[in-house]
Amino acid sequence: MNKRQTAMTAVEMTGTIDKHNHLHLDGVLSFVGPKRVRVIILSSLEDETWDEALWLQTAA
């Protein structure tokens, strides 16, 4: 495969962005590094507490 046809996998995980804008994951990734990755961050537009159970129920 060339650079335009790279096979990828998706991993969903929660985390926190600290006051220095660094991302800290709540768990350990299932593959070994070091490795460059692409990151897509989903965040509420409002400053609210994340309710994981409610999110999972709504997404189902």
**Two tokens, residue 12:** 């969903």
CA-to-CA separations, 28 to 18, 22, 54, in angstroms, rounded: 18, 16, 23
- The residue with tokens 């985390």 is 15
Instruction: Give the pTM.
Output: 0.60
Sign of CA dihedral 35, 38, 43, 45: positive
Residues 60/54, Cβ–Cβ less than 8 Å = no
**Two tokens, residue 51:** 């309710």
pLDDT digits (tens, 9 = 90+) for 7-39: 888 999 989 999 999 999 999 998 888 999 999
Domain residue spans in the chain? 1-60
Alpha-helical segments (H) within 1-60:
52-59
